[in-house]
Amino acid sequence: MRRVAIVGAGMTAFKEHFALGIKDLIPMAVSEMVASVDKGLDRSDIQAAWFGELTTTDGFPSGILADSCDLLDIPVTRVENACATGNDAVRNATFAVASGAFDVALVVGADKVRESSSRSTFWEWAKLTRDVAWDYPVGLVAPANFALHAARYLHESPATREHLAMVAVKNHKHALSNPKAQLRYEITVEQVLSAPMVVAPFGLLDCTPQSDGAAALLIVAEDVVDRYTDHPVWVRGVGLGLDRVMHQHKADLTTFPATVKAAKAAYAMAGIGPAEIDLAEVHDCFSAVELISYEDLGFTERFGAAAYVESGATTVGGARPVNASGGLKAKGHPPGATGVAQCVELFEQLRGEASNQVDGATTALAHNIGGPTAVSAVTVLSSAKG
């Protein structure tokens, strides 16, 4: 397969865009992506597009992308894979370009979560991202679903609620310098621990906000990279992993096997191991998810996540910063856009252009996990072609 690179990236702010719809947000992200291409982009160069959107609010997703961005002469494929949607859209476009089918592909992720009340959104979206025969009837919406894992993890590992709080505090601090983050304010461990309980062990400040937003990437073949930039970011590896849907069928709630499988595939394709990852954007829809994912991604040993976050390794300035953007917790989480936005952040980081720059980073990882913890997508990016 051919080598593949990202040569342009853009995104909207993640926030409650009550005055804007998907038809507004998508062109905003695509326009910023176009403007970021160093040597310019003629939109007629785009040969295909992949659009990640978890749930549609304005109608037929592929047609809305084509119509709103005036891309009516190319194939557009809609990708939906729970909260792994964004990085899975990147994965699909990567394989299409690597195969030789296309030289230039657009990836867009977007969602309009704040189209309805928080209460109704949980139930509407749960039908798309849970098992409707078992999980849905007993109320396993996202917080309850992930709380099962968190509670068991706290029972078996040395981690405490204070360690979960450290994750939230870190990511809020990182978001301060990100102009596109939704929650740009600091919080303390004490505030996290005293916040209203959502579902044990998650208080309100352990949970990601509901967000609207869009993000876009331009993915091209190595043959045409020089046409667009002298500073590409290479897609070194992609992976997708699955696990059991129903929680009573999961063998171990203290790990996410889907993440382990996705990471293994991405590392193998990249020809590297976790030790070579300089920074990461890790799915932190709830604080414990980031903690558990440190282990599943190979950043630390089994049940070593508490000591790892306590050491400061995952803070900007530490050995391997995680969620320098603020993560889902503070940057925001429109599910279809999240994985694409993670890659936007890492594109900027690896080119030395990020708002919360990590010095010396050359290799980075983006990670999503979604549904009833049953699907995960991982993307490995590098400033080196490899």
Measured between alpha carbons, how far is 55 from 218 in angstroms, rounded to an integer?
23
Active site residue 149: no
Hey, is 336 helix, strand or coil? helix
Annotated catalytic residue: which of 283, 333, 343, 367?
333
CB–CB of 90/340 below 8 Å? yes
Measured between alpha carbons, how far is 322 from 364 in angstroms, rounded to an integer?
10
Active site residue 249: no
CB–CB of 256/341 below 8 Å? no
- What is the chain's alpha carbon radius of gyration, rounded to the nearest angstrom? 19
Measured between alpha carbons, how far is 142 from 125 in angstroms, rounded to an integer?
9
Annotated catalytic residue: which of 83, 207, 285, 343?
83
Amino acid at 130: R
Measured between alpha carbons, how far is 345 from 347 in angstroms, rounded to an integer?
5
What count of other Cβ atoms lies within 10 Å of the Cβ of residue 226?
12
CB–CB of 51/79 below 8 Å? yes
Sort 273 into a burial class: Cβ within 10 Å, 0-12 / 13-18 / 19+.
exposed
Active site residues: 83, 333
